[in-house]
A and B are shown apart, each in its own frame.
Chain A
């Protein structure tokens, strides 16, 4: 691998750009394939480049057969994102676990005394209102949104915004009773059963979690299940 290719690849990743690295497994020649351009010394037919862009979209590395030999397409997409609403005790554990699992983590809490104080040092923290923050950050199909505040003033706007996004996971902390009341409020706000069924509540897999770290484990496990098993989960 040439230094220019590696440096460009690292720069693309740092800038959260999607890029595929195509390598001819026989010659070692390489080509960087962006959604809108290419760079490198490996010549590929237009249909192979199209297939590489499809692999990028599907987020799946693959090997393509070409007249010049096998070409490995390594997909480099920006990390999936985890939005945590509520800079509470559980969020401290969940942010760490999300980061370990490869997510780009953002903590959202407009209450200054919660988000400040160095409890979330090194994480992306915003003091915007949850709906404003999520409208700006635009959760996509590779995003998870978890609300942890217990406060309808903060959780409800976050959930409303999340439900209007294609986020693959939406979870809300709260007991069955709290959750039923929350669904009722959202129903009155105009959300139908299909939309409300997207919310995992009470949040997390039922593993008897008690401590903040254990609850974070159950949430991270459910996010993982949803991401890896999707509709089968």
Chain B
């Protein structure tokens, strides 16, 4: 069994079942980041997801963007940096930075 295969396999299964699906991929990282380049997360149009692109810090925001990508078909590149606790913005508590590419499955 393999991580990536599972995630893309699930994405394909959802798509075959007629659901809207988007895939998010970590394309670059700086500093300490929890998941390596190439890590993936698949999201369906109901917000169900498999896989991960962080330790859980940015998944919520990525899923929101993924749902938008499913609706509009527009791929996007997202940047996440260090959390600013006061501002309550989405970010990585570990102090790393990651870039995540989100695309819709056609």
Contact = CB atoms under 8 A, between A and B. Distances in A.
B3 A102 contact: yes
A10 B9 contact: yes
Contact of B5 (A10, A72, A100): A10
B67 interface: no
A63 B27 contact: yes
Contacts of B104: 1
Closest 6 CB pairs of A and B: A61-B38, A28-B75, A72-B27, A61-B37, A79-B2, A2-B106
Interface in A1-58: 1-3, 6-7, 9-10, 13-14, 23, 25, 28
Contacts of B38: 61, 74-75
Contact of A28 (B12, B15, B25, B103): B103
A7 B101 contact: no
Contacts of A10: 5, 8-9, 12
Interface residues of B, number: 23
A71 to B, nearest CB: 10
A63 B29 CA distance: 11
Interface in B1-40: 1-5, 8-9, 11-12, 15, 23, 25, 27-28, 37-38
A13 B105 contact: no
Q: How large is the interface on A (under 10, 10 to 19, 20 to 34, 35 or more residues)?
A: 20 to 34
B2 A102 contact: yes
24 contacts: A1-B103, A1-B104, A1-B105, A3-B15, A3-B105, A3-B106, A6-B15, A9-B8, A10-B5, A13-B2, A13-B4, A14-B5, A23-B101, A23-B103, A25-B75, A25-B77, A60-B37, A61-B27, A63-B28, A72-B25, A72-B27, A72-B101, A74-B25, A102-B1
A160 to B, nearest CB: 30
